[in-house]
Amino acid sequence: MFQQYSLAHVQFMLTGLGWTVTLALIALVGGSIAGSVLTLMRVSSNAILSRIAQFYIFVVQGTPLLVTLFIAYFGASYVGFAVQPLVAIAVAFSFYAAAFLGDIWRGAIQSVPGGQHEGAHALGLSRVAAMRYIIIPQAIRIATPPTVGFFVQLIKNTSLASVVGIVELTRTAQIVSNATFKPLEVYLTAALFYFLVCFPITLFSRRLEKRLNV
Amino acid sequence: MLRFVRGLVVGAAATLLISSAAMAQQAGSTLDTIIQRGKIVVGISLSTPPYGMTDASMKPSGFDVAVANLIARDLGVQLEIVDQVSQARIPNLTSNKVDIVVSSLGITAERAKAIMYTNSIYVDEQMVIAPAGTQIASLQDLVGKRVGVTRSTTNDTIITEKAVEGTNIQRFDDDAATNQALFSGQVDAIVSGVAAANAINAQTDQFQRKFAVRQSPMGIGVRRGDFDLRQWLNTEIMLLWNSGELQAAQKEWLGVVNKELPRF
């Protein structure tokens, strides 16, 4: 009944890895879009928009992702919405990522020295044009390391998706570990898979930083 | 620590959801829905061998899967298995994500407030397992010892309830982790079911069963108020018992056959 840890198990974990990558992509895209909106609200000169964004960031940053996921999946059912697991994940992860990215990116934009704003103004650039050509290119360089760090963290957080029934990498590892009773070998394999996904991203971030530095 | 927080949060959220379970009751009969849909959606934890697991080709198998297959066969519908972590078993049911839960679900008064149980399909015995050389014969002997148990299981409930003060209970996420803690000496003893004990004995004879803590009957979970479906399932359990198929599944997966099953 209990199996030897074999290639078939590793293949099964690869299907889990496929889900992990899919979830990560959903989270990255959804989080980036929502995060951009939140950033713009946060740096907006409209005090009400800025306050709403600030309040949102406070609430979501102070709530564990697992709870957000629970509310999006189970909670929504109780008030009458039949939510598919993937939809719940897309919503929960986007909301969660937006709160962090919104703050990271706001910080990056505001840390571009004030002289740059004034210079742009002196050259006759409009506020939008100054943002587009002067401020944001410099902010991207500042924002890259923390953004990538957060993305890597987000990828690893997709392991929470097993709560809503998605059999992603950590869940496949759990299943295999329980069928083979070889937790050390199985979880080391899972760790390697996570590393193989996250390491290239870190590497890419280094390159990007160097290129933007020139 | 993260694990602990996660467990705590899931527990809290589950409690919250259980309390609102009454709201989730469907208007129509789930039995009719299943027949019209031509498919039954069954929640099973696939990381709880030998109840729910995967076979060598990574297909769901185990006792719970065997029972779910028999149910789908006799309903004349397709079977869809939804894998679930043990903490999600009751929320999945009460929030209509699954039709029934066949997931080594021990019957407790607390859970019965949130969901309804069918008659029992297996009676497990919870026991304390420890290295062969140690002197452990009663709960009193566990004082000052580290006792491992899988969280959110009836094993956890019973040892938490019965442990003498001074027992150091350590909770793990799944059976593999609990067993590994015993193998590696991180705990002095574990509380586990018969099947898990058999699994340990299949690997090594260093550990032995010390004493039984309690009997734990397991049933199939349905939503509260789903009397139609519960009645059909009870009929099915009786028929499977009479045909000997239930006993065959017990023998094949759990290595034990119950003499009788409690009906209520």
pLDDT at B41: 96
In a domain, B50, yes or no: yes
Residues of chain A numbered 57-116 and touching chain B (CB < 8 Å)? 64, 66-67, 70, 73-75, 77-78, 82
Q: What's residue B195's pLDDT? A: 76
Task: State whether B164 and B90 are in the same domain.
Answer: no
CB contact under 8 A, B177 and A66: no
In this predicted structure, the answer to whether residue B19 has a pLDDT above a threshold of 50 is no
Quote the pLDDT of residue B1: 47
In this prediction, residue B193 carries a pLDDT of: 87
pLDDT score for A79: 85
Residues of the domain holding B22: 2-123+217-254
Whether residues B10 and B114 fall in one domain:
yes
Same domain, B114 and B6: yes
Is there a single domain that holds both residue B17 and residue B107?
yes
CA atoms of B138 and B149, how far apart (whole Å):
17
Does B209 lie in the same domain as B235?
no
Q: Select the residue from A19, A83, A163, A187 to test the B interface by mutation, using most B Cβ atoms within 10 A.
A: A163
Question: Would you say residue B3 has pLDDT above 60?
Answer: no
Whether A165 sits inside 8 A of B57 (CB atoms) is: no
Indicate whether B7 and B85 sit together in one domain. yes
Distances (CA, A) of A167 to A12, B43, B63, B255: 10, 13, 20, 28
Q: Are B154 and B221 in contact (CB under 8 A)?
A: no
Specify the pLDDT at position B14: 55
**In which band, very low, low, confident or very high, does the pLDDT at B48 lie, cut at 50, 70 and 90?**
confident
Query: Any chain B CB within 8 A of the CB of A8?
Result: yes
Q: Verify whether the Cβ–Cβ distance A181 to B87 is below 8 Å.
A: no
Query: Between chains, do B58 and A1 touch, taking CB under 8 Å as contact?
Result: no
Residue B35 has a pLDDT of 94
Q: Is residue B262 part of a domain?
A: no
- Residue B4 pLDDT > 80: no
Within a domain: residue B78? yes
- Domain membership of residue B264 (yes or no) is no
Contacts 24+ apart (CB under 8 A), A62-66: A64/B5, A64/B9, A65/A92, A65/A93, A65/A96, A65/A157, A65/A160, A66/A160, A66/A163, A66/B6, A66/B9, A66/B10, A66/B13
Specify the number of domains making up chain B: 2
Q: For residue A96, what pLDDT is reported?
A: 94
| Architecture in CATH for domain A7-213 | Orthogonal Bundle (1.10)
B263 domain residue, yes or no? no
Whether residue B53 contacts residue B244, with contact meaning beta carbons closer than 8 Å, is answered with: no
Same domain, B188 and B249: no
Residue B36 is predicted with a pLDDT of: 95
3-state secondary structure string across chain A: CCCCCCHHHHHHHHHHHHHHHHHHHHHHHHHHHHHHHHHHHHHCCCHHHHHHHHHHHHHHHCCCHHHHHHHHHHHHHHCCCCCCHHHHHHHHHHHHHHHHHHHHHHHHHHCCCHHHHHHHHHCCCCHHHHHHHHHHHHHHHHHHHHHHHHHHHHHHHHHHHHHHCCCCHHHHHHHHHHHHCCHHHHHHHHHHHHHHHHHHHHHHHHHHHHHHHC
Mean pLDDT of chain B: 87
pLDDT at B21 over 50: no
Size of interface A-B (CB pairs under 8 A): 100
* Predicted pLDDT of residue B149: 94
pLDDT band of residue B6 (cuts 50, 70, 90) is low
Q: Which of residues 169-208 of A touch B (CB under 8 A)?
A: 171, 174-179, 181, 183-184
**Lowest mean pLDDT, pick from A35-44, B10-19, B236-245:** B10-19
Q: Are residues B92 and B187 in the same domain?
A: no
For residue A8, give both structure tokens: 């078939």
What local confidence, expressed as pLDDT, does residue A212 receive? Answer: 77
Q: Which residues of B make CB contacts under 8 Å with A?
A: 5-6, 9-10, 13, 17, 20, 23-24, 46-50, 53-58, 82-85, 87-88, 91-92, 95-97, 173-177, 179-180, 199, 202-203, 253
Segment (H or E) for B259: none
pLDDT band at B10 (very low <50, low <70, confident <90, very high): low
Domain boundaries, chain A: 7-213
pLDDT of residue A5: 87
User: With contacts defined as CB-CB under 8 Å, which chain B residues touch A73?
Assistant: 95
In a domain, B111, yes or no: yes
Q: Which residue has the higher pLDDT, A80 or B17?
A: A80
Task: Answer yes or no: do B92 and B210 share one domain.
Answer: no
**pLDDT (tens digit per residue) in A32-67:** 999 999 999 998 889 999 999 999 999 999 999 999
Quote the pLDDT of residue B24. 44
Closest Cβ opposite residue B47 in set A2, A82, A175: A175
3-state secondary structure at position B61: strand
Mean pLDDT, residues B41-67 taken together = 91
A73-85: per-residue pLDDT in tens? 998 888 888 888 8
Same domain, B209 and B229: no
In the prediction, which pLDDT does A101 show?
Answer: 94
Regions of chain A short of the pLDDT cut 50: none
Give CA separation, B35 vs B31, B72, B79, B107, B221, in Å. Answer: 6, 10, 12, 27, 18
CB-closest option in A66, A74, A178 to B6: A66
A157 touches chain B (CB under 8 A): no
| More confident site: A102 or B49 | A102
Whether B244 is in a domain gets the answer yes
| pLDDT value, residue B205 | 82
CATH number reported for the structural domain that contains residue B207 in this entry: 3.40.190.10
Asked whether residue B197 falls in the same domain as residue B96, the answer is no
Residues of A in contact with B9 (CB under 8 A): 64, 66-67, 70
Same domain membership, residue B150 and residue B181:
yes
